[in-house]
Chain A
């Protein structure tokens, strides 16, 4: 059990670190755009002082662009803040919609994923009692796997379902035969930790993460008790 707890902690720290790197990279890109826009604006104003024409339309376009980047940065920081609150209460009621949405936002910060499309069909509230942080960790791996194994269309669709004592996430759009490689060894521990199951028929290009309504007794609860 101790070894298992150690592995879960290590996995969680790695996920937290990766997410912070993605956020930092995105913010640095935004700062770079703001820096170049301000630099160009400064140079165009200096040129206009020497008689080179600077039109109001050009100024407005650059001003709008700065506002857009501030909005973009604000969205990234909102995502960072929501993610940081995932560990406020280690086990609590979680709306699967919110967990999926947040994880997609994190994944979309990765430049590599920008060439792909993730379509999420939001549904009515799907509340489960689980660890939001490790749920996001599992969703992160599941969605990254789907992106890496996506069919030629490069569109991954995510939807939710509920079934008696379970709720779950269906991920589709994987190339034929690609589903067999999931769960990866990296994710097996998270699947076990959350009392989840992976369901797929191999040929359909989709798999389901089936989650219990209530997290069973296991390493996460043990971790909190120690």
Chain B
């Protein structure tokens, strides 16, 4: 079970990764697109958890690039944008979209559903 977490907020994503590791997941994290793509090229991940809005490229564009590297990988989006419109748009691109801040149990539940679907 390997997760790739991508968000430009380093403190957020590194701590989220550490908490997921405490729950038994192998979780790598990246704060830039280049790093995320390099990791996706070097490791086969089951799920990518991506921030929707980051500098340089949107999470949706990053999703397309990761999909080309790892066909079949599943995606969960996370976002600080709480509008219904943003939420609906992003939900069409992934298993789900979780609004920040969230309880880790909500993410874990989505990860487990994705793996069992």
A interface vs B, CB < 8 Å?
21, 24-26, 28-29, 31-37, 39-40, 43, 47, 65, 69, 111-115
B55 pairs with A112, CB closer than 8 A: yes
Closest chain-A Cβ to B61's Cβ sits at a distance in Å of 12
Interface residues on B, range: 20 to 34
The interface residues of chain B lying within 8 Å CB-to-CB of A26 are 80
From known contacts A21-B81, A21-B83, A43-B19, infer whether A37 and B11 are also in contact, taking CB-CB under 8 Å: yes
Across the interface, which residues of B come within 8 angstroms of A33, CB to CB? 9, 11-12, 15
Q: How far is the CA of A113 from the CA of B15 in the complex (A)?
A: 24
B60 CB to closest chain A CB, in angstroms? 13
Whether A39 contacts B55 by the Cβ 8 Å rule is no
Interface residues of B in 45-66 (CB under 8 A from A): 53-56
Q: A35-B101, A40-B18, A114-B55 are in contact. Are A29 and B12 (CB under 8 A)?
A: yes
Does B16 make an interface contact (CB < 8 A)? yes
CB distance from B32 to the nearest CB of A (A): 9
Residue contacts A-B, CB under 8 angstroms, 5 given: A33-B15, A36-B11, A36-B101, A112-B56, A113-B55
**B101 x A28 contact (CB < 8 A):** yes
CB distance from B91 to the nearest CB of A (A): 18
Residue from the set A31, A34, A111 with the largest chain B CB neighbour count within 10 Å: A111
Q: Which residues of A contact B53 (CB under 8 A)?
A: 25, 111-112
Check A115–B55 contact: CB distance below 8 A: yes
Contacts of A25 in B (CB 8 A): 53, 80-81
CB contact under 8 A between A34 and B101, given known A21-B83, A24-B82, A43-B22: yes
